[in-house]
C-alpha cells in the first residue's frame, strides 16, 4: 500500500473531524475494510462523493460495518448523529484516496524534484528553489479553489474557510535536509536519485517523501476534497508551510509576529502516529578565528562535516598539506587504525596522498541528530583523532586544531553531554543528547556546531547558563577563545491521556495499519 495514500485517507478524516460541528466519536470502518473498498474501485471510477457513497452502500463491506444508515441519512440530507458523521468522514477519507491517490502521488513527485535544502550564504526566502516551490504550491492551491498567501517567502499559507472565527493551524514544511549521495544506495547496490521519487514495494524513496513534502500534499488534497464536497466546517483551516524547519526555525515566529496564532495546531511531520513529546532543539555554535598556522609539520587546511546542524554525516574529510605527503599518509593510516581499534572498531580512518596533500577520511554511520545512538559520528571522531595526534604526528596549530582540542576536551565521543558534565535525563523523554554536527569555514572563522536535544527537567535558561559557565572556564584554562552562540528551545509535552491524543491515535491506528 502506498505510504502517502494511507496518509491522504487519514488527513481527510482528521481535518473533517477536527472541524465538525458535532462532538467527536469513532468510526466503525476498520483499516482492512477501507482497503477492501479501495480495491473495488478502479482509477477514475468515481465522479463525486455522492456517487461513491451510492456505489459503496451496496457492498458487503459496508453492510458488515453497519454504516448503511449513515450513508442513507447523508444522501437524504438528514441531520447526522456524531457516530454517523464520523462514518461519513471516514468514507470521505477513503473516497479522497480513490479519487485523488494517483494525482497526489504525482504532486509529491513534483515537489520532491525541487531541491529545497539550505544553500550556504543564501537566505531561504531568497533561495530560487523556495521561490519555485512557492509558485508550485500557489498554482495547486488556486486550482483547488483554496486561498493562497505567500508571507514574504517565509511561510506559505493555504486557507479553507469555515463558519466561525476559530482557526485550526495545520503545519508542514517545505525545506529538507541536504543530501549525502553515498547514503542513497540500496543493499543490492542500486543508486537512487534523492530528488526523484522511486517506489519500491510499499515504500517511497526521495528526499521529502516523509519529511515533510508528503505532509503538504495530503493536507492540500484533503482540503480540496472538503471544499469540493461543500462539507460544513465549524472552524477555519490554515495550512502553514514552513521554510526553515530544518535550519534556523525563524519562519514560523516571523509569521506569528504578523498574523494571529491559530486556536488549535497540528503538525503533519514525523514517523510516529501522534507525537506528544519532543525534545527542545538547541545549538552551541563555536567560532574559532582563523589565524596563521604555528609550529612545524603538516597543516590542516580544511575539514568537512554535517551540512546542517541536525545532520550527522557518514564521512568527515580533512585536507592536510605536507612537504612529505607519503610519509604523513603512512603515519596517519597507522595511527588511524590504532585509534579505531581503541574506540569500538565500528568506523574507519583512511589516509591517501593527493599530490602534495593528504586526504584523511573518517567513515562512520550517518544519522539524524535526534537519534545519535543510531549512527557513528565521524565528526566527533575526526576531531578527537586530530587532537590525539599532538606529539605523535607533527601538525601546525591553527583554528582547526583549536576546534579539535575544544571538541575533544568538552564533548569527546560521548553524545550525552557527560564529558562536559551537563547530562541529565527525563523518565519519559529520555536523555539530553549533544552531537557534533555542522562544520564550516570562511575567510574569518572555522565554525563547529553541537546540536542539543533537550528533555524536560531543566529550563533552557538554566542549561544555557550551565554550558556557558563550563565553556568559559575551559577557554580560560586552554587560552583558546572561540566565540559562542547559544540557542535552546523549550521541549514539547502533552498529556498522553488527553482526548485529542486519543482521537488522533484512533485515526492513525485505523488508517495507517498501526
Tens digits of residue pLDDT in 53-94: 999 998 888 888 889 999 999 999 999 888 888 888 889 988
223 contacts 160 by C-beta, under 8 angstroms:
yes
Where do the DSSP E strands lie in 261-404?
A: 264-267, 277-278, 280-289, 299-303, 311-312, 315-321, 348-354, 357-363, 367-368
Report angle CA 112, 117, 119 to the nearest 5 degrees: 145
Pairing of the two strands 167-173 and 264-267: parallel
Distance of CA 382 to the CA centre of its chain: 26
- Per-residue pLDDT reduced to its tens digit, 210-263: 999 999 999 999 999 999 998 888 899 999 999 999 988 899 999 999 999 999
- Per-residue pLDDT reduced to its tens digit, 169-201: 999 999 999 988 888 988 888 999 999 999 988
Count Cβ atoms within 10 A of the Cβ of residue 188 and give its class: 0-12 exposed, 13-18 middle, 19 or more buried: exposed
Q: How far apart are CA 370 and CA 281, in angstroms?
A: 9
Cell of 339: 585509534
Average pLDDT of span 460-476: 98
Answer yes or no: is pLDDT of 295 > 80: yes
Helix (H) or strand (E) holding 448: strand 445-454
Average pLDDT of span 275-284: 94
Give helix 82-112 / helix 49-56 axis angle, nearest 10°.
Answer: 120
**Dihedral-angle region of residue 302 (phi above 0 means left; psi in -120 to 50 means alpha; beta otherwise):** beta
DSSP annotation string for 108-170? HHHHHTS-----TTS-GGG-HHHHHHHHHHHHHHHHTT-EEEEETTTEEEEEE--SSS-EEEE
The DSSP letter of residue 211 is: T
Q: How confident is the model at residue 386 (pLDDT cuts 50, 70, 90)?
A: very high
Domains and CATH numbers, the chain: 3-276+495-512 (3.40.630.10), 280-316+368-492 (3.30.70.360)
pLDDT at 3: 44
What is the share, in percent, of the chain residues with pLDDT greater than 70? 93
Q: How many CB atoms lie within 10 A of CB 415?
A: 27
Residues 331, 336, 337, 338, CA torsion sign: positive
Q: How far apart are CA 53 and CA 115, in angstroms?
A: 40
Higher pLDDT pick, 134 / 202: 134
Amino acid at each position: 500500500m502506498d505510504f502517502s495514500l494511507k496518509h491522504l485517507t487519514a488527513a481527510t478524516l482528521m481535518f473533517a473531524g477536527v472541524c465538525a460541528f458535532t462532538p467527536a466519536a469513532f468510526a466503525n470502518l476498520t483499516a482492512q475494510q477501507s482497503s477492501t473498498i479501495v480495491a473495488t474501485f478502479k482509477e477514475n471510477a468515481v465522479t463525486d462523493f455522492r456517487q461513491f457513497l451510492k456505489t459503496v452502500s451496496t457492498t458487503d463491506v459496508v453492510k458488515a460495518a453497519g454504516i448503511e444508515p449513515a450513508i442513507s441519512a447523508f444522501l437524504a440530507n438528514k441531520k447526522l448523529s456524531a457516530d454517523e458523521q464520523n462514518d461519513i468522514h471516514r468514507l470521505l477519507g477513503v473516497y479522497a484516496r480513490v479519487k485523488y491517490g494517483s494525482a497526489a502521488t504525482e504532486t509529491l513527485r513534483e515537489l520532491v524534484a525541487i531541491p529545497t535544502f539550505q544553500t550556504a550564504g543564501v537566505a531561504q526566502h531568497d533561495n530560487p528553489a523556495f521561490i519555485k516551490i512557492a509558485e508550485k504550491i500557489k498554482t495547486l492551491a488556486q486550482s483547488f479553489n483554496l486561498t493562497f498567501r505567500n508571507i514574504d517567502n517565509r511561510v506559505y499559507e493555504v486557507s479553507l474557510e469555515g463558519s466561525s472565527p476559530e482557526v485550526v493551524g495545520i503545519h508542514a514544511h517545505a525545506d529538507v535536509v541536504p543530501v549525502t549521495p553515498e547514503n542513497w544506495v540500496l543493499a543490492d547496490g542500486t543508486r537512487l536519485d534523492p530528488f526523484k521519487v522511486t517506489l519500491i514495494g510499499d515504500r517511497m524513496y526521495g528526499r521529502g517523501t516523509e519529511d515533510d513534502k508528503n505532509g503538504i500534499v495530503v493536507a492540500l488534497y484533503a482540503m480540496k476534497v472538503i471544499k469540493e464536497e461543500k462539507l460544513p466546517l465549524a472552524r477555519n483551516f490554515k495550512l502553514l508551510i514552513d521554510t526553515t524547519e530544518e535550519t534556523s526555525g525563524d519562519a514560523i515566529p516571523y509569521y506569528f509576529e504578523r498574523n494571529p496564532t491559530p486556536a488549535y495546531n497540528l503538525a503533519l511531520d514525523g514517523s510516529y502516529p501522534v507525537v506528544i513529546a519532543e525534545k527542545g532543539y538547541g545549538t552551541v555554535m563555536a567560532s574559532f578565528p582563523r589565524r596563521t598556522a604555528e609550529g612545524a609539520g603538516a597543516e590542516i587546511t580544511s575539514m568537512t562535516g554535517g551540512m546542517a546542524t541536525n545532520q550527522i554525516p557518514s564521512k568527515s574529510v580533512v585536507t592536510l598539506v605536507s612537504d612529505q605527503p607519503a610519509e604523513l599518509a603512512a603515519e596517519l593510516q597507522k595511527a588511524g587504525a590504532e585509534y579505531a581499534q581503541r574506540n569500538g572498531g565500528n568506523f574507519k580512518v583512511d589516509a591517501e596522498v593527493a599530490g602534495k596533500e593528504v586526504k584523511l577520511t573518517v567513515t562512520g554511520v550517518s544519522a539524524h541528530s535526534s537519534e545519535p545512538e543510531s549512527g557513528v559520528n565521524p565528526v566527533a571522531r575526526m576531531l578527537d583523532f586530530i587532537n590525539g595526534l599532538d606529539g605523535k604526528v607533527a601538525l601546525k596549530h591553527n583554528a582547526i586544531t583549536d576546534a579539535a582540542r575544544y571538541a575533544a576536551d568538552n564533548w569527546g565521543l560521548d553524545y550525552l553531554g557527560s564529558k562536559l558534565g551537563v547530562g541529565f535525563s527525563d523518565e519519559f523523554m529520555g536523555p539530553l543528547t549533544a552531537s557534533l554536527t555542522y562544520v564550516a569555514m570562511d575567510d574569518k572563522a572555522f565554525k563547529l556546531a553541537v546540536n542539543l536535544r533537550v528533555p524536560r527537567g531543566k529550563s533552557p535558561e538554566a542549561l544555557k547558563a550551565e554550558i556557558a559557565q563550563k565553556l568559559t572556564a575551559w577557554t580560560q584554562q586552554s587560552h583558546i577563545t572561540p566565540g559562542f552562540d547559544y540557542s535552546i528551545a523549550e521541549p514539547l509535552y502533552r498529556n498522553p491521556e488527553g482526548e485529542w491524543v486519543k482521537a488522533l491515535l484512533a485515526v492513525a491506528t485505523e488508517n495507517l495499519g498501526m
